[in-house]
A and B are shown apart, each in its own frame.
Chain A
Amino acid sequence: MRLIAGIEEPDEGSVAFDGAPLDGVPPQSRGFGLMFQDLALFPHMDVFGNVAFGLRMQRMPRADVRQRVSELLALVNMAGYGRRRVDELSGGERQRVALARALAPAPRLLMLDEPLGALDRALRDSLQGQVRAILKEVGVTSIYVTHDRDEALAVADRLAFMDGGRIVQTGTPEEVFRAPADEFVARTIGLSNVLLGVVRSSGESVEVECDVGILSATATNERAFRPPDSVMLIVDEAGIKVRVAGALYSGAVNVLTGVVMDRTFRGGDYGLKLRVGDSELSASAGHGPDGAGVRPGDDVTVLIGPGAVRVIPLC
């Protein structure tokens, strides 16, 4: 973001916007907006002064500044707060002032660096929706950095995943969920039960050897696999059944044995943490005899429906 904003110069490569290279263009001439995590409100100015700053820098006439600031304060639901001192504001109010300030000069591109990072959970949840609504209303192209997957899903049209300074995948939330590019993306987006393996055979079903043994998955038409492709398996929690060990499940596929590591009550059901081989799997169990019956430390049989296993190619 600092590179895009022009605050720092790239060691190599260049930044272009809308086809035009921005090399050597100072930040003040780029027409971008930037909102830091700590907001960096000007402590020596009131709310009005903060929002008006960018407009004054454009030498906008006084009356127009006043007009535009009150529009923006109304937009972020802060109408009438113009004369408040910055340090009198609550966390959520400061965040909205910072957003109004960034939006005031009508930037070509708005960048938000974890804008809600410093706020508590409840406030963050309510502000995510507001931020998206405001950005949609203004219609400004925005880059929004966050570590929080719920926040990303709540705000973004498109997602870009950064790992070690590189973008590993971009796409709509649906695309990313359907086909995460790698384990990092899959885990970041909140998919549990991610396993890496190698295709052993494929036909009506795909057999993959991974940490927990050989799993078979229902083949789809989307893509054909051939041994020995490297793949990633994502196992849907709902497709995992957990039974007390002992009974025999002859003829069933994907029968594994494991140990219950932990059980948490989740309201509707129980969440189970299982250790199967060297991997950890998340599963759920209902209130019925099967769910309440398994306790941490129990040896269990784990049944994975082939339809619940998605096979994703790794390049």
Chain B
Amino acid sequence: MKGLRQSSPGRLLLLVPLGYLAVFFLYPLASILNRSLVVDGWIDLGAFRAILGDSYYLGRIWFTTWQAMVSTALAVALGLPAAYLFARYEFPGKSVLKALTTVPFVMPTIVVAMGFVALLGPAGIVNNLLTAVFGLDDPPVRVMNTLAIIFMAHAFYNYSIVVRMVSSLWASLDPRVEETAAVLGAGRWRRFYHVTLPLLLPAIASATLLAFMFSFTSFGVVLVLGGPQFATLEVEIYELSAKLFRLPLAGALAVVQLAFTYLFLLLYARLQQRTAVSVELRPRAMTARHRLRVRDRVFIGAMVVYLLLLLSPLAALLVRALTVDGGFSHAHVANLFSNEHGSYFYQSPIAIAWNSVRFALATVAVSLAVGTIVAYFLARSRRGASALDALLMLPLGVSAVTLGFGFIITMNRPPIDLRGSWLILVIAHSLVAYPFVVRSLLPVMRAMNPNLREVAAMLGASPTMAFLRVDLPIIAPALVVGATFAFAVSMGEFGASLLLVRPEFTTMPVAIFRYLGLPGEANLSSALAMSSLLMVVVAAGFVLIERFRYRGAGAF
């Protein structure tokens, strides 16, 4: 049977993603290793010794780790109550609220960072309000360039992961298990502690790991909000490679970071497998509470306010971009389009947005092609699947800056010289994006009954027809989800783009960062306007995703 289904032309298809990975992922990675390890043809651990023997770098490693731990703990604490809300209650506007809760996770880091600037920055909404009300001379809230704002931004960015992953498992838990515990004498809290919590643990652990990994490799947030004294490993790699050109040192640091993230990724994969088997899942409709008591209504109301409050940085960004001195104005937007100083570097925002959009569309095309093939093989193979899985998902664990760094040192000479080409950006983006396509498709493809295809064959459909008429309609919603993810990832990609982008191919996140780096009110205003624009484009994509979201297991 197996031989029949996976004939050799079918297997050859696997060479496409494997070749793509080998050239554009493993080769740059190997080059980083080579740069940091090999000197004059000899293995030299000097760069590693320099890092591990230097208290400054050890300090950076430690700082990166503990700030990620605090950020993650905050995200979990923020996310769990909301997960409970979405898992166990039905109320009007639930789907809208749920979509809104997803927004932070898909927002580009630079937009999130700008949201916090707009809310809590020296000229942010909170400070403007406080100075106006109390007639102060100086802005009273000073959180810029502090650890607090990094924690806040990371928690904001990651709590939606916790909500998504935990609520989908929670909603699938058989409520009768809890009811049985109640009848057996367990009160509210003991029920949660002895029954619900242990059952949710795999999802909580997965979400925690993912949130930790994102906080660990955080770049944009730390760069924009933290300032130089709070450099994480990712920021340090960027500084060393792009600014100081100390490539062996940057390479060694990238390898250290890679070792950490891959360890987390392995743990994550292990946990995901465990989630898949141990719990009996129930259709959601059956699990939601139906009758609402007063207590429930109060809880729902409080949670709605709480979740909307969590979104305040994004709202603040929009408000700041559209107001001047408390009144509605399109001055910031107009400013974006003007070049009053006649700067040589000025680029029209339309050209920049068009860059971002076309790179994103190209990224979607590449990611869908590669991701679909990978998901197809992962869904079918049994033995060796986890090894293949780990290899193909490896790019998820490599930080964007590392990837960009690898591209810089490999794609600059024949046989592959992509220095002047926009293709280099699309390739980098699609490496970051295609694992999302795979993760979206895999649950659907795994769940698909293989008999369906056989039935189609019995009814006279050729394999091509069977794919078009049976497989494709079933996976179509997941494809849309994957494509939207890829689009959002590409639109928001910052770390690799910052290293790779040429002035004529400037993307929106890079432009925002450039505006921020320039002094003056006009540039801040441009950054705000551009961030809002980016936010709206990405949010529009995710209105789509909620409509098409496959009602299966979570899509990560």
Chain A residues with a Cβ under 8 A of chain B: 2, 5-8, 26-34, 36, 38, 40-44, 53-54, 57-58, 87, 101-102, 105
Q: CB < 8 Å: which of A8, A36, A43, A101 contacts B199?
A: A43
Residues of B near A102 (CB, < 8 A) are 184
A53 touches B181 (CB 8 A): yes
A28 touches B180 (CB 8 A): no
Q: How far is the CA of A44 from the CA of B278 in the complex (A)?
A: 8
A-B contact pairs, 27 of them (CB 8 A): A5-B179, A5-B182, A5-B183, A7-B179, A7-B183, A8-B291, A27-B183, A28-B182, A28-B187, A28-B191, A29-B185, A30-B183, A32-B183, A34-B180, A36-B176, A38-B174, A40-B174, A40-B176, A41-B177, A42-B177, A42-B181, A43-B199, A43-B278, A44-B198, A57-B184, A58-B185, A101-B180
Q: 5 other contacts beyond A6-B183, A38-B174, with CB at 8 A cut-off? A: A7-B183, A27-B179, A42-B177, A44-B278, A57-B184
Assuming the A-B contacts A40-B176, A40-B177, A87-B278, are A53 and B184 also in contact, with contact meaning beta carbons closer than 8 angstroms in the complex?
Answer: yes
B180 touches A40 (CB 8 A): yes
Assuming the A-B contacts A42-B177, A44-B278, A53-B181, are A28 and B186 also in contact, with contact meaning beta carbons closer than 8 angstroms in the complex?
Answer: yes
Confirm or deny: B280 has a beta carbon within 8 angstroms of a beta carbon on chain A. yes
B199 touches A44 (CB 8 A): yes
Residues of B near A7 (CB, < 8 A) are 179, 182-183
Q: How far is the CA of A178 from the CA of B529 in the complex (A)?
A: 84
B179 touches A42 (CB 8 A): no
Confirm or deny: B14 has a beta carbon within 8 angstroms of a beta carbon on chain A. no
Residues of A near B182 (CB, < 8 A) are 5-7, 26-28
Residues of B near A6 (CB, < 8 A) are 182-183
Residues of B near A40 (CB, < 8 A) are 174, 176-177, 179-180
Q: Which residue on chain A has the smallest CB distance to residue B202?
A: A44
Q: Which residue on chain B has the smallest CB distance to residue A111?
A: B183
A57 touches B199 (CB 8 A): no
A28 touches B185 (CB 8 A): yes
B279 touches A43 (CB 8 A): yes
Q: How far is the CA of A54 from the CA of B520 in the complex (A)?
A: 68
A42 touches B195 (CB 8 A): yes
The 8 lowest CB-CB distance pairs between A and B, nearest first, are: A57-B185, A54-B184, A40-B176, A27-B182, A34-B183, A44-B198, A40-B177, A40-B180
Confirm or deny: B190 has a beta carbon within 8 angstroms of a beta carbon on chain A. yes
Q: How far is the CA of A105 from the CA of B278 in the complex (A)?
A: 26
Confirm or deny: B194 has a beta carbon within 8 angstroms of a beta carbon on chain A. yes
Considering only residues 144-184 of chain B, those with a C-beta below 8 Å from chain A are: 174, 176-177, 179-184
Assuming the A-B contacts A28-B186, A87-B278, A105-B185, are A36 and B180 also in contact, with contact meaning beta carbons closer than 8 angstroms in the complex?
Answer: yes
Q: How far is the CA of A233 from the CA of B11 in the complex (A)?
A: 72
A26 touches B187 (CB 8 A): yes
Q: How far is the CA of A29 from the CA of B187 in the complex (A)?
A: 8
Q: Which residue on chain B has the smallest CB distance to residue A31?
A: B185
Q: Which residue on chain B has the smallest CB distance to residue A34?
A: B183
Residues of B near A54 (CB, < 8 A) are 184-185
Count CB-based A-B contacts (< 8 Å): 74
Q: Which residue on chain A has the smallest CB distance to residue B185?
A: A57
Residues of B near A34 (CB, < 8 A) are 179-180, 183
Assuming the A-B contacts A27-B182, A43-B279, are A53 and B194 also in contact, with contact meaning beta carbons closer than 8 angstroms in the complex?
Answer: yes
Q: How far is the CA of A28 from the CA of B198 in the complex (A)?
A: 20
Residues of B near A105 (CB, < 8 A) are 184-185
Residues of A near B183 (CB, < 8 A) are 5-7, 27-28, 30, 32-34
Q: How far is the CA of A102 from the CA of B179 in the complex (A)?
A: 12
Considering only residues 521-535 of chain B, those with a C-beta below 8 Å from chain A are: none
Residues of B near A31 (CB, < 8 A) are 185
Annotate B190-226 by CB proximity to A: 1 below 8 A, 0 otherwise.
1100110011000000000000000000000000000
Q: Which residue on chain B has the smallest CB distance to residue A33?
A: B183
Residues of A near B280 (CB, < 8 A) are 38, 43
Q: How far is the CA of A6 from the CA of B179 in the complex (A)?
A: 9
B174 touches A57 (CB 8 A): no
Assuming the A-B contacts A28-B185, A30-B183, A105-B185, are A57 and B177 also in contact, with contact meaning beta carbons closer than 8 angstroms in the complex?
Answer: no
Chain A: minimal CB distance from B335 (Å)? 58
Q: Which residue on chain A has the smallest CB distance to residue B182?
A: A27
Q: Which residue on chain B has the smallest CB distance to residue A98?
A: B180
Residue from A2, A34, A41, A42 with most neighbouring chain B CB atoms (10 Å): A42
Q: Which residue on chain A has the smallest CB distance to residue B187?
A: A28
Residues of A near B199 (CB, < 8 A) are 43-44
Residues of A near B277 (CB, < 8 A) are 87
Q: Which residue on chain B has the smallest CB distance to residue A35?
A: B180
Residues of A near B187 (CB, < 8 A) are 26, 28
Q: CB < 8 Å: which of B179, B184, B194, B291 contacts A101?
A: B184
Residues of A near B198 (CB, < 8 A) are 44
Residues of A near B291 (CB, < 8 A) are 8
Q: How far is the CA of A33 from the CA of B174 in the complex (A)?
A: 18
Chain B: minimal CB distance from A219 (Å)? 51
Chain B: minimal CB distance from A85 (Å)? 9
B176 touches A38 (CB 8 A): yes
Residues of B near A33 (CB, < 8 A) are 183-184
Q: How far is the CA of A171 from the CA of B194 in the complex (A)?
A: 41
Residues of B near A53 (CB, < 8 A) are 181, 184, 186, 194
Q: Which residue on chain A has the smallest CB distance to residue B177?
A: A40
Q: Which residue on chain B has the smallest CB distance to residue A29?
A: B185
Chain A: minimal CB distance from B285 (Å)? 16
Chain A: minimal CB distance from B176 (Å)? 4
Q: Which residue on chain A has the smallest CB distance to residue B176?
A: A40
Residues of B near A27 (CB, < 8 A) are 179, 182-183
Annotate B345-367 by CB proximity to A: 1 below 8 A, 0 otherwise.
00000000000000000000000
Q: How far is the CA of A44 from the CA of B191 in the complex (A)?
A: 13
Q: Which residue on chain B has the smallest CB distance to residue A27?
A: B182
Residues of B near A42 (CB, < 8 A) are 177, 180-181, 195
Q: How far is the CA of A42 from the CA of B193 in the complex (A)?
A: 13
Q: How far is the CA of A43 from the CA of B173 in the complex (A)?
A: 10
Residues of B near A5 (CB, < 8 A) are 179, 182-183
Q: How far is the CA of A33 from the CA of B182 in the complex (A)?
A: 10
Q: How far is the CA of A92 from the CA of B180 in the complex (A)?
A: 19
Residue from B180, B194, B198 with most neighbouring chain A CB atoms (10 Å): B180
Q: Which residue on chain B has the smallest CB distance to residue A54?
A: B184
Residues of A near B179 (CB, < 8 A) are 2, 5, 7, 27, 34, 36, 40
Q: Which residue on chain B has the smallest CB distance to residue A2?
A: B179
Chain B: minimal CB distance from A113 (Å)? 9
Q: How far is the CA of A105 from the CA of B180 in the complex (A)?
A: 13
Q: How far is the CA of A44 from the CA of B279 in the complex (A)?
A: 8
Q: How far is the CA of A253 from the CA of B278 in the complex (A)?
A: 67
Residue from A28, A36, A87, A105 with most neighbouring chain B CB atoms (10 Å): A28
Chain A: minimal CB distance from B466 (Å)? 34
Residue from A54, A102, A105 with most neighbouring chain B CB atoms (10 Å): A54
Residue from B182, B184, B198 with most neighbouring chain A CB atoms (10 Å): B184
Chain A: minimal CB distance from B395 (Å)? 34
Residue from B177, B183, B199, B278 with most neighbouring chain A CB atoms (10 Å): B183
Residues of B near A87 (CB, < 8 A) are 277-278
Q: How far is the CA of A36 from the CA of B174 in the complex (A)?
A: 11
Q: Which residue on chain A has the smallest CB distance to residue B194?
A: A53
Q: How far is the CA of A87 from the CA of B277 in the complex (A)?
A: 10
